[in-house]
Structure 1
Amino acid sequence: MTDPLEPPTLSNTTTSNPTQPSIYIHPRREPFEHGLIPISKLIFADGTQTLAPLKDKLVAQSGSTHRVSSEALSDTLQISLDHARLVIETIASVLHSDSDPLVTAKPSEIESVGVDVSDLVLFLYIQSYKRLLPRGHKDAAAVADVWPSTSAFDGFLSALSPLQLVRSNSRRFMPSQTDEEAHQLSYLQKHLGNILSLLSDSAEGEGEGEESLVLTMEKFEHLGFLIYFGERGSARIPLSQNAPFFANSDPDMPAAPVPAAQVHDWLLQNIASALEHISERVSAKENGPTGASDQDVPMADVCTSSIKASTSSRGPSFIEGVSKSSFVKQASDLKGSSVKVVNCHESVIYILAPLKYATVYGCSDATIVLGAIGKAVRVEHCERVHVITAAKRICIANCRECVFFLGVNQQPLIVGDNHKLQVSVANLLLSTI
């Protein structure tokens, strides 16, 4: 019997210093925050029952390249060609590997390049993911006629409008980044067996059933679409280099396939360790001094402390709670590749930095200028907000009386319950669902 596999630590992966802390597994936020599309035919609630046969059909159509075009995707999933293109463009915006041909392709080349079947299957699987929701208002009926309580996008929208949210001091009921990370890890923990079976192959001469499933190093790397290892201030190590069964493999002589059950056990141990670590951090925070966000302090101070607390190379930078003021952040002020502008009101906010992702949530009566966003922008649950941005793509969800001045490479996507939007887009038609 072999010893149980332990989660990798810095001492056995990147340094010989035994005092270094452990490297924990994390979910990639991008596919969960920017990679969900409200198309019913893309949501498979039965896990692998439907997806497995679809994957086999897509593999057969893809030939030796294992990549499929929007036409093949449209035919297999029985969706329109426009929706198939939207799927491929969305996957390109949340892929984990910047060297993938789909990421580096020009808009005119996307159709010929296509999407890798493994990435496509992972993308389709997580369409069933339900985001962590804020707590409902204690008197939801009283505000139901002010702000919609349901959404075509995710089946739920806080009954509070952005202004009601800030006035009721309900910001503390919004899920934190830690809450969301734990929620995403728990989702992966629950569905890991199905996900691995979709990536696995049957070993020759090993019979049938789960016992015969094996995972190659190439297929294992596709899990990087959903998870990664790494901590603040450190570079992300290739996923296979964190796995004891693939680590230090010679690129010219790839490691032999590994039983999927072994990979499953090892990942479950890592996820359990990460969830325990998150629980310990939350417990320490709750038992420690009261955080700035829980005190009655000026909104500008809340914003400043929030930025300092959350700016890191791993997570997004936060700009939170700016009220009745101007606020500027330049490239030197931000770390990491994403930013979130949350619960800002009656203000002008400038994010003058090249980033990969940006999210604007719960803002009102504000003007928000976003610098060049290389992947995707998401604007949600805002009212009377002017957004000026240059980005590759943008998703607008559940907004009211907002004005958008956009320079985007792909058609804007407008989803959910929106009212009285004005959108100005250079040389592109508007695409709505």
Structure 2
Amino acid sequence: MSDPIETSISSSSSAGDPNSNPNPISLLHPRREPFEHGLLPIPKLVFTDPTQTLIPIKQTLLSSSTNTRRVDSAALSQSLQISPDHACLVLDTLASVLHSDSDPLVSSKPDEINSSSADVHDLLLFLYIQSYKKLLPRTHKDSAAVADVWPSTSAFDGYLSALSPLQLVRSNSRRFVPSQADEEAHQLSYLQKHLANILSLLAEPVEGEDEESLVLTMDRFEHLGFLIQFGDKGPEETQLSQHAPFFANSDPDMPAVPVPAAQVHEWLLQNIASALEHISERASLKENGPASASDQDVSMADACTTSIKASPSARGPSFIEGISKSSLVKQASDLKGSSVKVLNCHDSVIYILAPLRYATVYGCSDTTIVIGAVGKAVRIEHCERVHVITAAKRICIANCRECVFFLGVNQQPLIVGDNHKLQTILALSSVLKGLWLYV
């Protein structure tokens, strides 16, 4: 199971099986948080062959942990041969994207991260996806002509930003930026390809049999909730195992019988294929449906009514997209879900006055954005001449230029990639400790 696999919808033997095509309400989805907020630009964490590298690390971590199968930053630093500061950053970032808020790591205070510990299996999945590459934006026909005026290759996500935000808005920007459905399909395809390797990190051999006879206990299976979930409810509300026919309705007082890893692999591939097929069908309907609204500048009234796309469920984010030369105020009652994405907004003032778990600002220019009370993480990427005012637990700034940030944060900001002329005004107790800075 160490070799990556390639499985397409067309080649899946179960794609036509009615039992493998669940109701859309219970479709499998990737958890966006690890892929959008959980990637770190630390070269030693990006493995050429994650499985062959992580299996020995798994044994080292388990041998250094107690019976709780948890490891602290010191053990992590030694096992991965990274600095103690980087080990703390790994644990802190993992805490911000964990699927279970009841995990002790999530409730750790900033000054306790050094002494906190993470579950080995959650940590292994976190380390594995550090090799994930984000979906490339569509290439602009004249990308070479703009390469000298906008940050080039990002140390954070590894791809070329062909156009600045202002150039994007002048060139009908939405043609170049991947849609949310595109990103979800890309994440599902990544999981589809690497699923066998991921399961091998969670599985264990059957006692007395050869090492190829791997099984998954229900507890190990639950760790997959870090990467996937079913339906619109988050993993905190519905245990992942309750969607699996081999673990559903198990007696909590009597451990379920371990399941062959091959059976889990086959079942998950069926669900991933169904999810990809569902995304493809939705895209086809959209292409054949009415034409979408113009990407040109909109009035303030139109912006307030047409440019906000709230997700239909608590699972996905609400979108504030394409606001231009306008002012916009959104409060908690105006948003669905607990995360917000502000995309491609220009020459505007935007207030998001609501408690959130995650927030993303991408591709904005000449805009003031106020974001309040973000409990997990904020990411600001590929922005130009924006002023961002936010109170958050953590913040990552990547590939921005001539921006000003007024931050009330509990953790040192993470500044990565190719940035130019940034001003950061901090209001935090550890301001004298400086920034996590990777340029």
Matched to 1:339, the amino acid is V
- Give the drift of 1:382: 0.5
Q: Partners of 1:233 and 1:194 in 2: how far apart?
A: 25
Q: Partners of 2:417 and 2:268 in 1: how far apart?
A: 35
Deviates more, 1:108-117 or 1:192-201: 108-117
Taking a change above 3 Å as real, the CA distance of residues 188 and 403 of structure 1, as seen in their structure-2 partners, is: same
- Give the drift of 1:173: 2.0
Cα deviation, 1:386-420, whole Å, max 9, x if unaligned, reads 11111000000000011111111111000000011
Residue 18 of structure 1 is matched in structure 2 by: none
Residue 129 of structure 2 is matched in structure 1 by: 126
Residue 367 of structure 2 is matched in structure 1 by: 366
Correspondence 1:140-289 to 2 at 5 A: 140-209=143-212, 212-231=213-232, 236-289=237-290
CA contact under 8 A between 1:134 and 1:173: conserved in structure 2? yes
CA contact under 8 A between 1:230 and 1:237: conserved in structure 2? no
CA contact under 8 A between 2:38 and 2:126: conserved in structure 1? yes
1:70 aligns with 2:73: yes
Residue 141 of structure 2 is matched in structure 1 by: 138
CA contact under 8 A between 1:216 and 1:257: conserved in structure 2? yes
Q: Give the alignment partner of residue 6 of structure 1, picking from 14, 19, 40.
A: 19
Correspondence 1:296-315 to 2 at 5 A: 298=298, 301=302, 304-308=305-309, 310=311, 312-315=313-316
Taking a change above 3 Å as real, the CA distance of residues 303 and 213 of structure 1, as seen in their structure-2 partners, is: farther
Residue 119 of structure 2 is matched in structure 1 by: 116
Q: Which has the higher contact order (CA 8 A, sep 6+)?
A: 2
Q: Give the alignment partner of residue 430 of structure 1, picking from 424, 430, 435.
A: 435
Taking a change above 3 Å as real, the CA distance of residues 200 and 240 of structure 1, as seen in their structure-2 partners, is: same
Q: Partners of 1:399 and 1:22 in 2: how far apart?
A: 38
Residue 15 of structure 1 is matched in structure 2 by: none
Cα deviation, 1:42-81, whole Å, max 9, x if unaligned, reads 0112131111000110011112011111111000100000
Q: Partners of 1:311 and 1:297 in 2: how far apart?
A: 26
Q: Partners of 1:233 and 1:61 in 2: how far apart?
A: 32
Q: Report the TM-score, using the length of structure 1 for normalisation.
A: 0.92
CA contact under 8 A between 1:8 and 1:243: conserved in structure 2? no
- Give the drift of 1:134: 0.8
CA contact under 8 A between 1:393 and 1:408: conserved in structure 2? yes
Matched to 2:353, the amino acid is L
- Give the drift of 1:297: 7.1
Matched residue of 1:137: which SS? coil
- Give the drift of 1:5: 9.5
Cα deviation, 1:14-44, whole Å, max 9, x if unaligned, reads xxxxxxx551000000000000001010011
Cα deviation, 1:256-298, whole Å, max 9, x if unaligned, reads 1110000000000000010011111111111111122x56673
Q: Partners of 1:179 and 1:23 in 2: how far apart?
A: 20
1:352 aligns with 2:353: yes
Residue 10 of structure 2 is matched in structure 1 by: none
5+ residue gaps, structure 2, are 1-16
Matched residue of 2:425: which SS? strand
Deviates more, 1:225-234 or 1:240-249: 225-234
Taking a change above 3 Å as real, the CA distance of residues 233 and 82 of structure 1, as seen in their structure-2 partners, is: closer
Cα deviation, 1:111-144, whole Å, max 9, x if unaligned, reads 3331110010000000000000111211112112
Residue 6 of structure 2 is matched in structure 1 by: none
Q: Partners of 2:124 and 2:304 in 1: how far apart?
A: 39
Q: Give the alignment partner of residue 90 of structure 1, picking from 82, 89, 93.
A: 93
CA contact under 8 A between 2:70 and 2:117: conserved in structure 1? yes
Q: Partners of 2:18 and 2:264 in 1: how far apart?
A: 10
Aligned length: 417
CA contact under 8 A between 2:297 and 2:325: conserved in structure 1? no
Matched residue of 1:389: which SS? strand
* Shift >6 Å, 4+ stretches: 232-235
- Give the drift of 1:150: 1.5
Matched residue of 1:195: which SS? helix
Matched residue of 1:341: which SS? strand
Matched residue of 2:407: which SS? strand
CA contact under 8 A between 1:24 and 1:230: conserved in structure 2? yes
- Give the drift of 1:302: 5.9
Residue 291 of structure 1 is matched in structure 2 by: 292
Deviates more, 1:31-40 or 1:225-234: 225-234
5+ residue gaps, structure 1, are 11-20
CA contact under 8 A between 1:6 and 1:266: conserved in structure 2? no
Q: Partners of 1:69 and 1:55 in 2: how far apart?
A: 14
Residue 41 of structure 2 is matched in structure 1 by: 38
- Give the drift of 1:109: 3.2
Correspondence 1:277-426 to 2 at 5 A: 277-292=278-293, 294=294, 298=298, 301=302, 304-308=305-309, 310=311, 312-426=313-427
Matched residue of 1:396: which SS? strand
Taking a change above 3 Å as real, the CA distance of residues 298 and 230 of structure 1, as seen in their structure-2 partners, is: same
Residue 103 of structure 2 is matched in structure 1 by: 100
CA contact under 8 A between 2:298 and 2:324: conserved in structure 1? no
Q: Partners of 1:379 and 1:95 in 2: how far apart?
A: 20
Q: Partners of 2:228 and 2:246 in 1: how far apart?
A: 17
CA contact under 8 A between 1:92 and 1:102: conserved in structure 2? yes
Residue 17 of structure 1 is matched in structure 2 by: none
Taking a change above 3 Å as real, the CA distance of residues 311 and 371 of structure 1, as seen in their structure-2 partners, is: farther
CA contact under 8 A between 1:6 and 1:269: conserved in structure 2? no
Q: Partners of 1:379 and 1:227 in 2: how far apart?
A: 24
Q: Report the TM-score, using the length of structure 2 for normalisation.
A: 0.91
Matched residue of 1:356: which SS? strand
